[in-house]
Structure 1
Amino acid sequence: MKLQDYGKSPPGERNVQFRVTRVTLEPMLKSMVDISQQLAVPVNRVVVINLKLQDTKTSSGETEVKFNVCKDTLGSMLRSMNFTRDQL
């Protein structure tokens, strides 16, 4: 996944790679569908998604990734993740 990283100066892209199984992907998809429904309300134009990923390269063993997403972007992500789930 490529994310726009506004924490950098100047802002740039950040690659986030992670492995999923069908078991871990299902709750993630459900959560993202719930978020998508929240974005259907006109007041909610952008939402922050916070992912905690296991990471063997950090001392804590996990990495936290936060990103803003609009409804269209989230829809694209959901289609891609549904395709990935169907491949598992």
Structure 2
Amino acid sequence: MLQDYGKNPAGETEVQFRLTRVTLEPMLRSMAYISQQLSAPANRVAVINLKLQDTKTTSGETEVKFQVSRDTLGSMLKSMAYIREQL
């Protein structure tokens, strides 16, 4: 679940996406790099942009933007590393 701070402070959006090992690896590398940048004291949050190809409609891509803290990103990386092991 992603919380949408831009439109509705209490609103959440569920985003589902499919990953293959080929698409997951670059995403993990990018997120690990962002995590390293967040280790600097001046960097408290990072904004991550994901471009998702919409397979349910012909509208093409959807962009999802969200903010993460170092702790949240670390948890995401652990979860995604587990997913990678399952692929």
* TM-score category, normalised to shorter length: over 0.9
RMSD of equivalent CA atoms? 1.1
TM-score normalized with structure 2 length: 0.93
Q: Does 1:75 align with 2:83?
A: no
User: Can you give the 5+ residue segments of structure 2 that lack an aligned partner in the other structure?
Assistant: none
Q: What residue identity is the alignment partner of 2:47?
A: V
Match of 1:38 in 2: 37
TM-score normalized with structure 1 length: 0.92
SS where residue 52 of structure 1 aligns?
strand
Q: What is the alpha-carbon distance in structure 2 between the residues aligned to residue 9 and residue 58 of structure 1?
A: 27
SS where residue 49 of structure 1 aligns?
strand
User: Can you give the 5+ residue segments of structure 1 that lack an aligned partner in the other structure?
Assistant: none
Q: What is the alpha-carbon distance in structure 2 between the residues aligned to residue 42 and residue 17 of structure 1?
A: 33
Q: 1:10 to 1:58 in 2, by over 3 A?
A: farther
More strand by share: 1
